[in-house]
Amino acid sequence: MEKAIIVSSNDEVTRKIEMLLAHEGFSKLTADSGSQARRLFNNAAEPSLIIINTPLPDEFGQELAVTAAETTSAAIIMLCSNDISDDIADHVSEHGINVLSRPLNRDLFQRTIRLVTSSRSRMIGMKRESTEVMTRIGEMRIINRAKTALMKYLKFTEPQAHRYISKQAMNNRQTRRETAEKILSQYEK
């Protein structure tokens, strides 16, 4: 079950949001101020969704939304009064924060929740894929350095060095990276 944090000092709005989130399958935590929400961000497991109903008693909520966008991977929705929602959206949209105006349209709110959570899922998938690619690139660099060391010190050709690393890895039941690191520890001092 995905988790949402609702930041709102208005009990009626909080109840409406809780009902809509329950319908979407979210568990929820609530905070009624920016400072309480910041403590939740630091102490609780990272939420999938953060909804901020502005204004809050200790701040407006814009700074809280930007901080949440910079420190979490949660999808963020800000709720503002209709007369300022466009201005707020201009300031926070570059941080990936979605702004909806009050009064809330139930269908629009549910579609927005689905949209931001699906976008978040794609972003997390891309981030995971990027991390895997960077790991593979790092591994290739180490293997190439080991090949270069073999070519320099043992006068291997590049194909010979490649075969040597692959064969050593297979014979010793190691990854090619582990074999390359052993070679580097011998020749790069």
CB 142 within 8 Å of CB 169: no
- Work out the mean pLDDT of the chain and round it to a whole number: 92
pLDDT digits (tens, 9 = 90+) for 108-125: 998 999 899 888 888 888
Degrees (nearest 5) of the Cα angle 64, 69, 72?
A: 105
At 142 the pLDDT is 96
At 120 the pLDDT is 84
DSSP 74: -
At 55 the pLDDT is 94
At 8 the pLDDT is 95
Which contacts qualify for 39-43: CB closer than 8 Å, 24 or more apart? 40/5, 41/5, 41/67, 41/68, 41/71, 41/72
CB 92 within 8 Å of CB 78: yes
Q: How confident is the model at residue 143 (pLDDT cuts 50, 70, 90)?
A: very high
d(CA 152, CA 170): 23
At 41 the pLDDT is 84
Q: Model pTM?
A: 0.72
pLDDT digits (tens, 9 = 90+) for 23-65: 888 988 899 999 999 988 887 778 899 999 999 999 999 999 9
At 62 the pLDDT is 94
